[in-house]
Amino acid sequence: MKRIIKRILAIITNWLEIPGELYLTDRYRYVKGVHVFPSRNIDMLTVDETVSMHNVLINLWAPVVIEEGANLAHNVVLLTGGHEMTDSGMQEKVVPRGGIHVRSGAWIGSNATILGGITIGVGSIVGAGSVVTKSIPDYEVWAGNPAVLIKSLRP
């Protein structure tokens, strides 16, 4: 029953494009226009209540986990699905590309894109406008397109 209520609320919220804050449960926090699609997959999203997100787009075809204290700046995009290419062009069918795991204390800068199958390590930083194509270890700064190691923050 809880799952059905969450799905209904997500569908209504997406349809009405309601800005501002909406709390579906104490485990899910949507702030300042976080858009999740397809909304029917809302059960694959786990967001700690201490996460800060601003106008984030989550393409939810595989599980996404965002741990405590993570910060996702304006216009971050999390892409867990994609399309297959054939000889005749791109297929319309979406194919899951793997989940995304943003570990505790990680920071993702504005306009960054995180592709499926990626883990952003504990305390790591992703520079604004970066495209992350592979997992980032703990306590490292990555930036660029594709994102590359800039420096280590290890204590």
| Local mean pLDDT, 10-residue blocks, the chain (155 residues) | 62 50 42 70 86 88 94 94 74 82 97 96 97 97 97 88
Using the 8-state DSSP alphabet, how is residue 136 labeled?
B
**The pLDDT value given to residue 14:** 54
We find that the CATH architecture of domain 2-152 is 3 Solenoid (2.160)
Whole-model pTM?
0.76
For residue 121, what is the DSSP state? Answer: P
The owner of tokens 């967001």 is 47
